[in-house]
Structure formats: C-alpha cells, structure tokens
Copies of this chain bind each other. A is one copy, B any other.
Amino acid sequence: MNKLSSGELNKHNFSGGPGVLPDVVLEQVREAILVVPEVGLSVLGISHRSDWFAAVVAELEANVLFLLGLPSNYHVLLLQGGATQQFSMVPMTLLRGKEQPAEYMKTGYWGGKVVAEARREGPIDVIWDGHSSGFRRLPRDDELEFRSEAPYVHYVSNETVEGLQFHRVLGRDDVPRICDMSSDFLSAPCKADQFSLIYAHAQKNIGPAGVTVVVIRDELLEGAPRDLPSFLDYRAQIGAHSILNTPPVFSIYVVLLVTRWLRDNVGGLSAMDQINSRKADLLYGALDDSDGFYKGRAAREDRSKMNVVFNLRSNELENRFISTAADAGFSGLSGHRSIGGVRASLYNGMQLRAVGNLVDFMDDFKRCNQ
C-alpha cells in the first residue's frame, strides 16, 4: 500500500482528541511561537493583561456568538479544567441545596462520567440509561419523559467513544437545557439559543487541549451561590472576561484562529456541517458497502458525524488494520480503551480528501484480508 509523505501526516490524524487542526491554522500557530504579527513577540511571552490579549478574548467571544447566532444575553467563557471541571461546576452552581433532582442521561462513556461527578453535588435523576443496549443507540423521544420540576436537564450531544450523536434538541422549553458539546461544538449549527449552558473543551473541533468554552445565558445564574471559590464561579469569570487569573493564553489564541477560519475560510457553521456531513457519508458509505467486512457500531439513526466507530470480524484483524494503517500514515485509529475496535474521528480540521484516502486504504485492506 502507498505510504503518505511526512508532510501529509498531520492531515491524516484520525485521533479522537486532541485531534487534527486545520493546516492553515497550524502554520499561523507555528509563526506565532516566535512572532505574533501584531505584537512582535512570541505568543508564549505576551502578558494576559495586554491590550492585545484583551482584543483576542473580545474577538473570540464575538466569533463564538456570531457562529452560533446568539444574542448578547449569552456570555462566552474560556475556562481551564476541561469538560470534567464543568461536570462539577454545573451542579455546584445549579444543584447544591436543591430538592428536585436534575435530569441526566447515561448515553455512553461520557454520559456516565458526568453523572458520577454531578451526584456529589446534589440530587440526580438518570432518566435514560443505554447500558443494557451496550451504548449502541440513543433514546427515542417516546422513551424520554422530562419533568417540569427539574432544575435542569443535562445531556451529551455526541458520545465520542461510542460514536453516537443526537440529531435533535432534547428536553422542554420550561427547563434549562445544559449540554456537553465537547466533541461536536462548532461542527454544525446546533440551535444554541435553545440551551441555557453549553460547554465544550477545545481539543476536538476548535483547538488544542487546555481551554474549555462555556456559553451561558444570563438568566441561568440568577440565584447561583455566592460562596464558591472564584475560579469556580461563573459570575466572577463573566465579570473578568475569563481573565480572572492568568488564562491559557496560547490555547485561547489557537481557538481564536480556528474561529476565524470557520468564519472566513469555511463560511460559517452551515458550510462546516455540509463538509462534515460529506466526510461522514463517505466513510459510513464505505462501511455499508463492505459486505459486513467493516461493521458500524452505532444504530444508523444515531450515527455520529464526528466519530465513526466500527469493528472488523476479530480483535486480531482490528489490530492488523490499525497497525497497517499506521504504517501507511493514518494515525489515531484505535478505538477508545474502554470498548476497543476502530474509531476514525472526522473533526472540523479533517479534510474530505483525507477521508477519501482512508476509504481507499480500507478498500485495499479489505481486498488483502478478505
């Protein structure tokens, strides 16, 4: 099989995250390590209290609101600690001392993780648990009942590990919707104005690890506690425009560059979705046309456009697939350690051409191993 050249390797990184970034962004970042053009200094040595960095944050806040089509009663925060910190911050803010349980859904690996952390802070009602189906599908509407008394409903829009994605908005309009969009944020329009709080770490679609974007509606914080440590206090973070203490300047700058790319090069989230859909269709099509050689894991209607998870007929063949692919230059294809198999992640930075090359490789591999 043909081997990719070394200059092509970043473009064929199918890692579940940290994952591929647009190559034009990587080139800008590389330059910024020595010189940010507007400043003349390394991005690693510019003060977070500089005018330049205030402008970075302001533009990034504006870009996120613009891309999501959100009005100004939403705030954009750039926090540390990953989605995991949000697993706790959300219930610390909205659930402590409450009697009515918040509603959560165990839709996969991450849907389970968040429940474990939320339980420490207050009452939780798991209204759906996909464990018995092996997390191969998501709930249908007729399996879900949302109560108007719940302080909020929380769910994970895309289960990165199992390759499941909700293609609709859940919940009811009179209960705040809170969503972990870590692995599909800014990959497509998401009706953001129907949510009270959205969070997403950067390292899938929008940047490197080290920063988490939180989009939060004003009203949600009425009645939030006043005695939280300042770094866990959404209000304090909003007041400081995320510069309460030194933020992860570098990671934030890279996310700014990605949002510029989404806005100016891609042309917004509908255009991004079109590209992402093409990539997913191409790869799922290859699975479906393989006569069962490659078997998609997720129920068809819940297939993720971000993470295509599939199996071959044996562990041994899966391992050979992954190592042969790695030799050819396709990296990051191992399934998550919790379930094994193969996973190809098709985040924003992944080009259609690279998915085409993967499909060609898969056809070759099938021919040689049938």
CA distance in complex: A210, B43 (Å): 13
Minimum CB–CB distance from A127 to chain B (whole Å) comes to 23
6 closest cross-chain pairs (CB), A and B: A210-B248, A80-B80, A88-B229, A84-B245, A30-B33, A44-B208
Contact B48 A209 (CB under 8 A): yes
Q: 1/0 contact trace for A187-231 toward B, CB 8 Å?
A: 000000000000001010001111100000000000000011111
> Which of B29, B81, B244 interacts with A231 by CB under 8 Å?
B81
Contact B246 A209 (CB under 8 A): yes
Which residues in chain A, 137-157, are within 8 Å of chain B measured between CB atoms? none
CA distance in complex: A212, B112 (Å): 28
> Which of B40, B121, B207 interacts with A6 by CB under 8 Å?
B40
Residues of chain B within 8 A of A42, CB atoms compared:
10, 13, 21, 26
Minimum CB–CB distance from A193 to chain B (whole Å) comes to 28
Which residues in chain A, 279-329, are within 8 Å of chain B measured between CB atoms? none
Minimum CB–CB distance from A113 to chain B (whole Å) comes to 9
Contact B331 A41 (CB under 8 A): yes
CA distance in complex: A88, B201 (Å): 23
CA distance in complex: A121, B229 (Å): 9
Q: Which of A34, A88, A248: most chain B CB closer than 10 A? A: A248
**Complex: chain B residue closest to A28, CB-CB:** B33
Q: Which of A13, A16, A35, A227: most chain B CB closer than 10 A? A: A13
Minimum CB–CB distance from A43 to chain B (whole Å) comes to 8
Contact B33 A45 (CB under 8 A): no
Contact A18 B249 (CB under 8 A): yes
CA distance in complex: A232, B87 (Å): 12
Minimum CB–CB distance from A78 to chain B (whole Å) comes to 11
Contact B117 A250 (CB under 8 A): no
CA distance in complex: A210, B248 (Å): 4
Contact A209 B247 (CB under 8 A): yes
CB contact under 8 A between A117 and B230, given known A41-B331, A42-B21, A249-B18: yes
Minimum CB–CB distance from A262 to chain B (whole Å) comes to 17
Minimum CB–CB distance from A261 to chain B (whole Å) comes to 14
Contact B245 A83 (CB under 8 A): yes
Contact A26 B30 (CB under 8 A): no
CA distance in complex: A80, B121 (Å): 21
Minimum CB–CB distance from A281 to chain B (whole Å) comes to 24
**Complex: chain B residue closest to A210, CB-CB:** B248
Question: With A10-B41, A44-B254, A85-B231 given, can you name 5 additional A-B contacts, CB distance below 8 Å?
Answer: A15-B45, A44-B208, A81-B85, A84-B244, A248-B248
**Complex: chain B residue closest to A19, CB-CB:** B45
Contact B18 A44 (CB under 8 A): yes
The reply on A17 being an interface residue by CB < 8 A is: yes
CB contact under 8 A between A18 and B47, given known A40-B9, A248-B251, A249-B209: yes
**Complex: chain B residue closest to A40, CB-CB:** B9
Contact B44 A229 (CB under 8 A): no
CB contact under 8 A between A26 and B34, given known A44-B208, A231-B85, A246-B203: yes
Contact B45 A18 (CB under 8 A): yes
Minimum CB–CB distance from A192 to chain B (whole Å) comes to 23
Contact B45 A229 (CB under 8 A): no
Contact A246 B82 (CB under 8 A): yes
**Complex: chain B residue closest to A46, CB-CB:** B18
Give 29 A-B contacts (CB < 8 Å), ordered by A residue.
Answer: A9-B35, A10-B45, A13-B45, A15-B45, A18-B44, A20-B45, A29-B33, A44-B208, A44-B254, A49-B337, A80-B81, A80-B210, A81-B231, A82-B231, A82-B246, A83-B245, A84-B244, A85-B229, A85-B231, A117-B229, A121-B229, A203-B246, A208-B248, A208-B249, A209-B247, A210-B211, A210-B249, A248-B251, A250-B251
